[in-house]
A and B are shown apart, each in its own frame.
Chain A
């Protein structure tokens, strides 16, 4: 059992947990993720490690309430326990002597972007960041990102904060202005990573994306998370989650994410109607 020792609301429906998991915290590196299960009968879901503290033995995760499991997760409080918390999984990312980097995070993608930018910043790289959300109140981790960036652009789809429009608009501007980077990191919904990659590709700058397919075990034994990268089938849980964006088949990834749409809705409806009928949890 793994105790939640701190809980924060970052935005409507976006929550942050700090979880007591000393062994995971000792080995965690930027780019890695964990798999958790709330309780017996629950499903296993992957979440990126947003931060880690080896000394305190804690892992920070950020999640958005989108379906049954994440909504149920959101009802847990500091002091509650998770049945399972497995990690660190996936390959850690490594940057060799990067001097200037552009980090782009959209929506929940800002959370996995943070540890990478933090590491780059600590290694002395110049970090430019572009973070965005649908609306001002959905924007997360702005202070954290700013703390590890030399310059940060904030965007909202509706213009309620910062620049009006998608993060990719700023990306395009910077590239057109002739800004040079050793690497561009793009993390967010698959469509954002796809469009961002298409915009940046002609500039011949390495593009790193972090993929988020359906997973079960997270250890390479089922292939549920497979994607096509450079024409080859890769397992995101062991070969990734970070890949060269120019080689990823994003359309396939987006299709595969739709596999259980019907079942996900069924599970959520059942959960919500049961919670509606039973007042004890409210």
Chain B
């Protein structure tokens, strides 16, 4: 029996020094050593009815894999995780565990919860260092399924269907698979090499990936059925950037967070001119918004050499939707937070470049539909921040390209695809999941939706 660690605090995770890391794109959190991992795993009480699992959208067998880590049996630990989660190195890094598995951990009532995410990450990283084993392939069923979009929802759905023996093809519009994992989440939070290796693992399971395929334009859903696919999963995400609709948004130096991050992450503008895609980051940068995308944009701007980076957010610190860990990291790196501040106008110079952001001070009023207290402008409190670059990170909407080209898909009033609990859409043989159904959410919720849809597709095709 492994010994029990009664420490009330999580085993700390080594990380790059804040001063050093704010100048590079290397991963911030360095991950547990074997000793750290075993030490942390020994904090798990191995509950008979593990409540932590209720908090995991893909039902990882948490106490089982943690027990293996405590016993130094890392190989078994990772194979338990991979029974239900095809992308553990990613989930261990980007899941908001504090709102999911770790929130439900029994220890969390009186101490730090078990570092489940860190342990999952450790097991996945350990396996990668050993060289990932090619899994046994299921017997081919001889039925083709198409997955549109290679973000977390699509990849999970594809992986699960491949494991069941389906012939799965993933269609991706960009030149690299991964969706937000590739273009959105920066290298310093999620190294792209890891995404690539997780996709390679899916390919070893037999999943085919076709890039440069803008579905709706190059092929429609009906074209896919004509090509002999018997089911389609749509996981195209919510990638349409929202702008604020305030004056001056088209000045030079104003970016949507999607553009800013795509240039930096997917196109690797941080290596320009070694790579060909430029990005323009001034001395002073304002990022508008308070979510993870805003944190990612601000921290990226800092790494691109900006001297002062501001987060401009209309509510207060406690309403910020960003992960606590990312907020803490951003503060450590020197990001300046302007809470209860809302932009009213972007000011430009005669050549059309941004030179300032006019803002108004806000105060919190009554709670709104989301349950958060609604910010209300304070009359006459306008002031101007001098800025060279403005990044708008106030959310995204559904991209209409595929939806408009697909007949018979019911949408909700916000333009997202309507599905039942299993992800079934109003169109025969078509499922959908992830942000294209729920609006912007988390990686792990998208994965959970992909998983549910895969099961439902399996049931449907078995009956066919």
Q: Which residues of A contact B (CB under 8 A)?
A: 23-24, 27, 37, 41-44, 68-69, 83-89, 216-224, 226-228, 233, 238, 252, 255-256, 258-260, 263-264, 266-267, 270
Contacts and interface: CB of A to CB of B under 8 A. Distances in A.
B280 A83 contact: no
Contact of A219 (B276, B277, B401): B401
Contact of B399 (A83, A87, A221, A227): A221
Contacts of B259: 216, 222-224
Contact of B280 (A24, A68, A259, A266): A259
A185 B167 CA distance: 47
Given A83-B175, A255-B352, A41 B275 contact: yes
B201 interface: no
B351 A255 contact: yes
Contacts of A223: 241, 243, 256, 258-259
A87 B280 contact: no
Contacts of B249: 233
A218 B213 CA distance: 12
Interface in B242-293: 243, 245, 249-250, 252-253, 255-256, 258-259, 262-263, 267-268, 271-278, 280
A145 B214 CA distance: 31
Question: Which of B173, B250, B262 counts the most chain A CB atoms within 10 A?
Answer: B250
A87 B256 contact: no
A227 B352 CA distance: 13
Contacts of A43: 267, 275-277
Contact of B217 (A37, A87, A256, A267): A87
Question: Which of A86, A252, A260, A270 counts the most chain B CB atoms within 10 A?
Answer: A86
B267 A256 contact: no
Contacts of B173: 86, 217, 219
A259 B249 CA distance: 14
A46 to B, nearest CB: 13
Contacts of B245: 233
B267 A216 contact: yes
A84 B239 CA distance: 21
Contacts of B262: 216-217, 221-222
B219 interface: yes
A217 B239 CA distance: 11
Nearest to B263: A216
Given A23-B219, A228-B250, A220 B276 contact: no
A63 B346 CA distance: 35
B334 to A, nearest CB: 26
Contacts of B138: none
B246 to A, nearest CB: 11
B256 A222 contact: yes
Contacts of A259: 252-253, 280
A129 B21 CA distance: 59
B258 A68 contact: no
Contacts of A266: 273
B25 interface: no
B87 to A, nearest CB: 22
B229 interface: no
Given A43-B267, A83-B175, A84-B212, A264 B401 contact: no
Given A217-B173, A222-B259, A260-B280, A86 B214 contact: yes
Contact of A27 (B174, B218, B258, B267): B218
B54 interface: no
A23 B214 CA distance: 11
A84 B263 CA distance: 17
A145 to B, nearest CB: 27
B214 A256 contact: no
B51 interface: no
B278 A267 contact: yes
B111 interface: no
Nearest to A225: B259
Q: Which 7 A-B pairs have the closest CB atoms?
A: A263-B278, A222-B259, A255-B352, A43-B276, A221-B239, A43-B277, A223-B256
B136 to A, nearest CB: 32
Contacts of A88: 217-218
B199 to A, nearest CB: 16
B277 A216 contact: yes
A23 B218 contact: yes
A228 B239 CA distance: 21
Interface string B212-230: 1110011100000000000
Contacts of A224: 255-256, 259
A86 B173 CA distance: 8
A87 B250 contact: no
Nearest to A23: B218
B252 A68 contact: no
B115 to A, nearest CB: 34
A252 B175 contact: no
B211 interface: yes
A214 to B, nearest CB: 10
B441 interface: no
B240 A220 contact: yes
B177 to A, nearest CB: 13
A216 B183 CA distance: 12
A256 B352 CA distance: 8
Contact of B276 (A23, A42, A227): A42
B424 to A, nearest CB: 26
B276 A222 contact: no
Contacts of A27: 217-219
B333 to A, nearest CB: 25
A227 B243 CA distance: 13
Given A23-B213, A84-B175, 16 more contacts: A23-B218, A44-B267, A85-B212, A88-B218, A216-B262, A216-B263, A219-B214, A219-B399, A221-B258, A221-B399, A223-B243, A226-B250, A255-B252, A255-B352, A260-B278, A270-B273
Contact of A87 (B214, B253, B272, B278): B214
A133 to B, nearest CB: 28
A248 to B, nearest CB: 12
Contacts of A84: 175, 211-212
Contacts of A227: 250
A84 B276 CA distance: 15
Contacts of B399: 219-221
B252 A41 contact: no
A176 B308 CA distance: 57
